[in-house]
Amino acid sequence: MQETPFDSGRETLVFVYGTLMRGQRNHSLLFGSRYVGEGMTLAEFELVDLGDFPALIPAVEGGDSFAVAGEVYAVDHSILEILDEIEDHPRFYRRTPIELADGSLVDVYLLTVHQAAFYPRIETGDWRTKAQAG
């Protein structure tokens, strides 16, 4: 998966970690996108629980950080526009390039540490464990 999120080609690799994953309520928004595979972030992030959906944030310096589990999809421009709209990019989430644990470069929707300051962490790093428990 050594593609970059800014290829001039027709697809952008996007890492999803919450309600867009298979079996989750917003997965149908990825209809027509190519599933690339499971993915893990580097251990530089935290996953927070916003209630009905999670948010990925950069780890606070000196705080806990861990790898977050998700899925990688190759999406075309029209799907990327839909994702930007539902994620309210750039007003709420910010679509940002990151490197995954396997070296792949992907786009991901991040919140700032400040935005997520008062929300609980999902210590497993996997939204599906929270979604199954709820």
44 is catalytic: no
In DSSP notation, 67-132 reads --EEEEEEE-HHHHHHHHHHTTTTTSSEEEEEEBTTS-EEEEEE--TTTTTTSPB-TTS-HHHHHH
What is d(CA 98, CA 4) in angstroms, rounded to the nearest whole number?
Answer: 10
Identified catalytic residue from 11, 46, 71, 87: 87
Q: Do the beta carbons of residue 36 and residue 74 sit within 8 Å?
A: yes
Q: Do the beta carbons of residue 16 and residue 125 sit within 8 Å?
A: no
Q: Do the beta carbons of residue 78 and residue 70 sit within 8 Å?
A: no
- Residues annotated as catalytic (active site), given as ranges: 87
